[in-house]
Amino acid sequence: MKKIYTLIAAALLATGAAAQNPTAYFMEGSTFRSQFNPAFAPLRGYVNIPAIGGVNINVGGNIAVDNILFSRDGKLVTLFDSSVSAADALSGLKQNNLLGMDFRMNVIGFGAFTKNHKNFWSFDLNVRVNEDANLPYSLFEFIKLGKEGQIRNFGTSTDSYLEAAFSYSFPLMDDRLYIGIRGKFLAGLARAQVTYDRFDISLREDRWAVLTQGTLDLTAAGAKVETDPDSETFEIGDLDFKPTKPAGYGFALDLGATYDILPNLQASLAVTDLGFISWSKKNSVMGVSTQETEFTGATVPENASEPVPDFDLEMLKFNQVDGRSTTKMLRASVNAGLEYEVWRHKIGIGLLYTARVWKYKTMHNITGSVNFHPVRWFTVSGSYSVIDNRGGAVGLALNLCPNWINFYLATDVLTSKHTPQWVPIKQSSMNVTLGLGIPIGKRSHRIAAYVREGDRR
């Protein structure tokens, strides 16, 4: 049973986000803000520090972290550990437990204003990784209690790719409307998907029976698998790949706009990651699992009373089939914001709605924020997010943009309750966004309150 524990625990911890960090949306002056909406622009041009110029990590789902991790004897263990009773492990789980992770790292990034101080262009090269999983309640019942039943829609997927993006934004209607567009060329590095449409478990006299109907689909450079010469089957551990070059190519668009309804009231709307990656057949490995497997025995943990099936994932074999080319859409996002400025643009009150299309479900967030920018090179924001109608998270953001540095940090981790290992609990999302760059070139004239005589160079 150890290997299936390891696989599912990895899915729980590594894919354990609904959208980009919402606190960063109103982080005025930051170079990262335009990732939410290409119509946004920083206060000056910039050159990012390679690799640390923009890092964004989002982890979340529809269950809190403390439903997955438990403190036992000063250590942090997963719900599969024998020290965690079945009652404790199952009490906080949903019928379908959705988990996801986004990771973005800016490798190269720079941008600048044009001669009119209003049009803005930028170029970014990013590494992107997306993961999501759906783990049904019935799967955990089987693992913790040995309860027979029918498990449906059990699966996990991941993809990683390089993103080369060029964006441009410009004003219309006497500067009340700004339009932004970002074109992105995508080079796919690797993708994998394991899905079980059927996973039936039954107890037959003195033995367990598992009837499966699932698929495994992997695309990456150098992908190969060694099958058993006798049965022509393989296990997950037999897969090998070396993602040293692209295994697919694609294209995507970000479209955005901001509109000044009143002099101090701005609405913004954007759709990001509208696009696809076509993965090549040459680098594809596929397998199907349609078989009935039987096994006997149960394991009784030393300090727990419930016996669990002595089941090993190696019992599930895949029959190799011909690989195929496939086209996968990106996980698109919608961001809609409204911000009202008071006290001569020193305080802003913002409201943001975000929607993120996952493989298994569309996740929705609503975030309210208060944003302080007493001087044009300093912004601090506080926010509260209601996450898919099931709880919330408090976020903080900071942006420093004097003449010699552009630094920003946004997170909802600092204010939450933590384990001794600094893992936040009692919330179902974790977001960290940070970046470091060097300001260059012209200053923006988009915000009238910030324009000074010395800026007109």
296, pLDDT greater than 80: no
14, pLDDT greater than 50: no
Higher pLDDT, 311 or 134: 134
* DSSP structural state of residue 394: E
18, pLDDT greater than 50: no
* 378: CB partners within 8 A, 6+ apart: 399, 400, 401
Tokens of 315: 């019992």
* Predicted model pTM: 0.88
Q: How far is CA 311 from the centre of its chain?
A: 31
The pLDDT score that the predictor gives to residue 83 is 86
Rounded distance between C-alpha atoms, residue 232 and residue 386, angstroms: 50
Rounded distance between C-alpha atoms, residue 16 and residue 10, angstroms: 9
Average model confidence (pLDDT) across the chain = 85
Tens-digit pLDDT profile for residues 41-72: 999 999 999 999 999 988 877 877 778 878 78
pLDDT band at 37 (very low <50, low <70, confident <90, very high): very high
* 137-145 and 2-14 helices, crossing angle to 10°: 140
pLDDT band at 335 (very low <50, low <70, confident <90, very high): very high
Handedness of CA 66, 72, 76, 82 (dihedral sign): negative
CB of 429 closer than 8 Å to CB of 412: yes
Tens-digit pLDDT profile for residues 235-281: 887 888 888 899 999 999 999 999 999 999 999 999 999 999 999 99
* DSSP structural state of residue 5: H
Q: Which residues pair with 46 in a beta bridge?
A: 111, 439
Phi then psi dihedrals of residue 239, to 5 deg: -75, 145
* 58: CB partners within 8 A, 6+ apart: 17, 18, 19, 20, 21, 100, 101, 102, 103, 429, 430, 431
Rounded distance between C-alpha atoms, residue 233 and residue 193, angstroms: 18
184, pLDDT greater than 90: yes
Buried-exposed string 122-160: b where 16+ CB fall within 10 A, e elsewhere: bebbbbbbbbbbbbbebbbbbbbbbebeebeebbbbbbb
Tens-digit pLDDT profile for residues 299-315: 555 554 555 566 655 55
DSSP H/E element including 101:
strand 96-113
Tens-digit pLDDT profile for residues 386-408: 866 456 788 999 999 998 999 99
DSSP H/E element including 434:
strand 429-443
Question: 2-455 in CATH: which number?
Answer: 2.40.160
The pLDDT score that the predictor gives to residue 141 is 87
Rounded distance between C-alpha atoms, residue 118 and residue 39, angstroms: 11
The pLDDT score that the predictor gives to residue 231 is 75
The pLDDT score that the predictor gives to residue 167 is 98
Residue ranges of the domains in the chain? 2-455
